[in-house]
A and B are shown apart, each in its own frame.
Chain A
């Protein structure tokens, strides 16, 4: 119970006591002068108490701001100072937020431009790489004989090789004629050897015969003298025949030696040819296998490169799509900026309102209040509109994986 009500209660009690006292005095001391005191004072107390009650009632119905007292003014001052400091700090923080948002926007924009250029460059290089691969595949196919030029080249090369082979074949035919001749000569030489043997045999027998004839001629004495001469001549003929046979044999031996050398040369030539042919054939087969393997490896590698080029293009497209986050975040930053402005207007209105509460002018207070309420309502409507707008905006995703992005 406040002090005023206590005073009123006391006055009422006093009024009741004075009323009771006046009644008592009037009843028991009607002629006394003291009786007038309670009769006069009692109504005054009643009037005063009633007035105070009415005033209290009026005050309750029509509250008035209490005037700052000497005791609360320091607190208000301190409170006001603190609120000013808080207000300044909030403004400072909001300003910094705006600066940081601008920086984020600028950094993001620069980074996005750089990334776009990088991705576009990569895509262009990937396309060039793919074109080069296609060209290389075309060249390999042309070299392997699928094109008209390759077929003409192969036909011409085949003709030249056939001419070369014909030439070698001709040489070989002549060589085989030589081999055949050597074989015939070999046979003839063997025959000659046999004949020489016969000649040696005949010569030897003739010599023996001549010797026998000489012996018989000597036995016959003078009659056998003519026979002895004939025998001597026969011996001479035999010896000469033997001498010629020896010479023929010597020539035959040299001829045989030459024949052996010729046979050795022919054999060596055939051996070299056969060795070279077999080695070339094996080497050619190996080279063809290696070439086929190399061609297969190249084809596989080129197909692999082609697949990688396709993958690169896909990755670049994904990157370009991902760069759309710039639009999303820019919109979010714009919304954040607007929110900051809305909050600032709130705080400004609240600050102004707080200051005006300090004004000790009641008649102006209502007007000030109405203005601030108007400002606050405007700020609230702006904030509400902003919320409605951002709830329906397309940038509602929380990550890049949330689906397709629609631009507006």
Chain B
């Protein structure tokens, strides 16, 4: 079973991602911010992290930096509306700099996301 952790503070977004990724060989877990995500990662065996950037309490940038510091093997797909909330920085590009394997700018299609996820599932199968 391939375990994916979805991190986003907005319930409709989590629901949308769940509907895109729902499959028999995929287990989906959810978290609403970075702190919750770290707790889930410590308690469960996660294969892929899909995280939003702008979140309360602990945002996506801090989450990705902490994950890469402690466990560089956990692949990360960062998603965002693009440009952050101020437009000063492109937080998706920065996410890439700090180690996110893939970035997806909203709006993205279900096929694009499923394609990425299937690549990681295939890599795990090979291992």
Contact = CB atoms under 8 A, between A and B. Distances in A.
Interface string A265-296: 01110110111011001000000000000000
Nearest to B69: A264
Contacts of A179: 89-90, 93-94, 97
A183 interface: yes
A275 B54 CA distance: 9
Contacts of A274: 53-54, 59, 61, 84-85, 89, 91
Interface size class of B (residues with CB under 8 A): 20 to 34
Contacts of A271: 59, 61-62, 65
A273 to B, nearest CB: 6
Classify chain A's interface size.
20 to 34
A119 to B, nearest CB: 61
Nearest to A271: B61
Interface in B76-107: 84-91, 93-94, 96-99
Nearest to A168: B88
B95 to A, nearest CB: 8
Contacts of B94: 179, 266-267, 270
Interface in A173-188: 175-176, 179-180, 182-183, 186
Interface in A112-159: none
B61 A267 contact: yes
Contacts of A169: 87-88
Contacts of B62: 271, 275
A266 B56 contact: no
A270 B90 CA distance: 9
Given A168-B88, A271-B65, A273-B88, A266 B98 contact: yes
A170 B98 CA distance: 22
Contact of A263 (B53, B54, B87, B98): B98
B65 A172 contact: no
A175 B96 CA distance: 14
Interface string A285-320: 000000000000000000000000000000000000
Contacts of B84: 274, 277
Nearest to A176: B90
A270 B91 contact: yes
A57 B78 CA distance: 151
Interface in B38-56: 53-54, 56
A275 B59 contact: yes
B93 A277 contact: no
Contacts of A277: 84-86, 88
Nearest to A171: B88
B84 to A, nearest CB: 6
Contacts of B97: 179, 182-183, 186, 263, 266-267
Q: In the complex, which of the residues B64, B85, B94 has the most CB atoms of chain A within 10 Å of its own CB atom?
A: B94
Nearest to B55: A278
Contacts of A263: 97-99
A185 B57 CA distance: 32
Given A179-B94, A182-B97, A267-B98, A281 B61 contact: no
A267 B56 CA distance: 18
A271 to B, nearest CB: 4
A183 B65 contact: no
15 contacts: A169-B87, A172-B88, A182-B97, A263-B98, A266-B94, A267-B94, A267-B98, A270-B91, A270-B94, A271-B62, A271-B65, A274-B61, A277-B88, A278-B56, A281-B85
Enumerate the 5 nearest inter-chain pairs by beta-carbon distance, A residue then B residue, closest first: A267-B98, A172-B88, A270-B94, A271-B61, A267-B65
Given A263-B99, A274-B89, 17 more contacts: A168-B88, A169-B87, A179-B93, A179-B94, A179-B97, A183-B96, A266-B98, A267-B64, A267-B65, A268-B65, A270-B98, A274-B53, A274-B85, A275-B62, A277-B88, A278-B59, A281-B85
Interface of B: 53-54, 56, 59, 61-62, 64-65, 84-91, 93-94, 96-99
